Amino acid sequence: MATNNKHPNPWSPLEAPKEIAKKLSLDPKTLSLFSTDFGLIENKTPLAVFEPSSESDIIDLIKYSNSLPIPFTIAPRGQGHSTHGQGLTNDGVVLNLNRLGDFRNGSEIVVHDEYVDVGAEQLWIDVLRATLKHGLTPLSWTDYMYLSVGGTLSNAGINGTTFRFGPQISNVLELDVVTGKGELLTCSTDKNSELFYSVLGGLGQFGIITRARIALGPAPTRVKWLRLFYTDFSEYTKDQEYLISFNEKNETRGADHVAGYILANLPPPRDVSFYPKQDLPRIDSLISQHGLVYTLELGKFYDNDSHVEEELANLFKGLKFIPEFAFEKDVSYEEFQNRLRVEIEFLRSNGILEVPHPWMDLFIPKSRISDFNDGVFKDIILKQNIPAASIIFYPMNHNKWDDRMSAVTPDEDIFYALGFFRAAFGNGEVEASEAQNEEILEFCKDAGIQAKVYLASYKTQERWVEHYGSKWELIKDRKDEFDPKKILSPGQKIFN
């Protein structure tokens, strides 16, 4: 585990003005709690943890830092679900955004006919439950519902609905943001638009989101939830791409959720909680026989009086999955959106949540996925035999993303999201997994595959310049405009 506990900044929390000092926690247990994240790989002890009781407190903290000869850094933190210290600081203050909900007097989730106003500290599961009471739902989701709204909007927020509605950042109507200069601004596509586009996917570099207005649509009541097995990679990707071709919002014939999982012949534990226990032996046999099995996850939303079976039958025409390996559940819409809760409980029961998580997420252009399958899945993942609790793999449509936002993607009409979700149990497993992650990136570079890391954790600015490519000058200009002293989100290591 990497550690870095030196405090090069001469500032001390004991020097803070009274109104700020009383909200700074120096308690060793609190500092320890905020010195690491879900990844349990990086460890950086902050100088203090700031517990705001209003947006004004955040403004005061930022302005105070900016007033110093050498400002201290400020690391906004929601659920702390980053994996490589992106929300940490060792020469500044962690801003505990979870405390924002304490001052809103019950107004942190306000549902309107076409949108919901949400405090950035709120969890997506609570947004879902609040909107469902009105028969409404956000359109785009993240897989894990126990993440904060501000956290996912600072990255992008993706899952199997992204092909249809774009990432979560493409479904935001308005934001309240405290910039790195300590200004509280309301922004949208036509009001303070440069700030709006900057902070969406901006990795916390330009401002701290405190409120978001999210677009809503009618909520379905039920979901047909299927997983279909393939052993032929080409047929698998052709079928995925066919299913996301029904990508218009008014298209009712297509799938509503398209994702995928790769089951590899790797050491356990492997999450198989979706499948009937009696089918696990033949699933294991198929994986052992082929080394890699590709599963397509399909969600079809419907209401009780719909023609969902007929629509599914039409969708299945021409699909090349193995008929004997098609599995289906019929669940409520809320249960489907919160489906990862079951998998999380499986991982927790296997001790996977309390160990380091050397995860990596990539966006891979469609034109090179066959090369990626051969060079990475077959030649690196299988041969090195490093455990992976889950490998996700599914396509998205580029035209559902807004390039004015800070997030970056491959420049192709279709690209794939890939996630390696790992757990490291023993000595050397973190290093082995990180080395494999780097080997995968090197393979892509050597093969000319223009992959982009999602939720990146680069150590040098040079790597970030390469990551942003033609957007780097824009990112740099936005930093100069909204956080000129470069105090926000130092754990990303972009400008610090």
Q: If you average pLDDT over each of 244-248, 305-309, 370-374, which comes out highest?
A: 370-374
Higher pLDDT, 390 or 297: 297
pLDDT band at 351 (very low <50, low <70, confident <90, very high): confident
pLDDT band at 246 (very low <50, low <70, confident <90, very high): confident
DSSP string for 185-243: EEE-SSSSHHHHHHHTT-TTSSEEEEEEEEEEEEPPSEEEEEEEEES-HHHHHHHHHHH
* CA 297/CA 444 separation, integer angstroms: 26
Tell me the average pLDDT of the chain: 93
Q: If you average pLDDT over each of 48-62, 271-285, 300-314, which comes out highest?
A: 48-62
pLDDT of 250 above 60: no
1-5, 148-152, 492-496: least confidently modelled range: 1-5
Q: Which residues pair with 394 in a beta bridge?
A: 417
The Cβ of residue 277 has, within 10 Å, a number of other Cβ atoms equal to 7
Q: Copy the structure tokens of residue 311.
A: 């629509």
44-48, 111-115, 175-179, 242-246: least confidently modelled range: 242-246
Chain centroid to CA 394: how far?
14
The pLDDT score that the predictor gives to residue 117 is 96
| Mean pLDDT, residues 25-29 | 97
pLDDT of 249 above 60: no
| Mean pLDDT, residues 209-236 | 97
pLDDT of 451 above 80: yes
pLDDT band at 103 (very low <50, low <70, confident <90, very high): low
Task: Using CB atoms within 10 Å of the CB of residue 470, give its burial: 0 to 12 exposed, 13 to 18 middle, 19+ buried.
Answer: exposed
265-269, 320-324, 393-397: least confidently modelled range: 265-269
DSSP tag of 259:
E
The pLDDT score that the predictor gives to residue 427 is 83
The pLDDT score that the predictor gives to residue 493 is 96
CA angle, residues 296, 298, 301, in degrees to nearest 5: 175
DSSP tag of 373:
I
Q: Copy the structure tokens of residue 364.
A: 């891979």
The pLDDT score that the predictor gives to residue 104 is 61
Q: Which amino acid is at 358?
A: P
Query: In this prediction, what percent of the chain has a pLDDT beyond 90?
Result: 83
H or E element that contains 391: strand 390-397
Task: Using CB atoms within 10 Å of the CB of residue 459, give its burial: 0 to 12 exposed, 13 to 18 middle, 19+ buried.
Answer: exposed
pLDDT tens-place string over residues 40-79: 999 999 999 999 999 999 999 999 999 999 999 999 999 9
> In the chain, what are the domains?
2-97+481-492 (3.30.43.10), 102-218 (3.30.465.10), 222-454 (3.40.462.10)
* CA 34/CA 25 separation, integer angstroms: 11
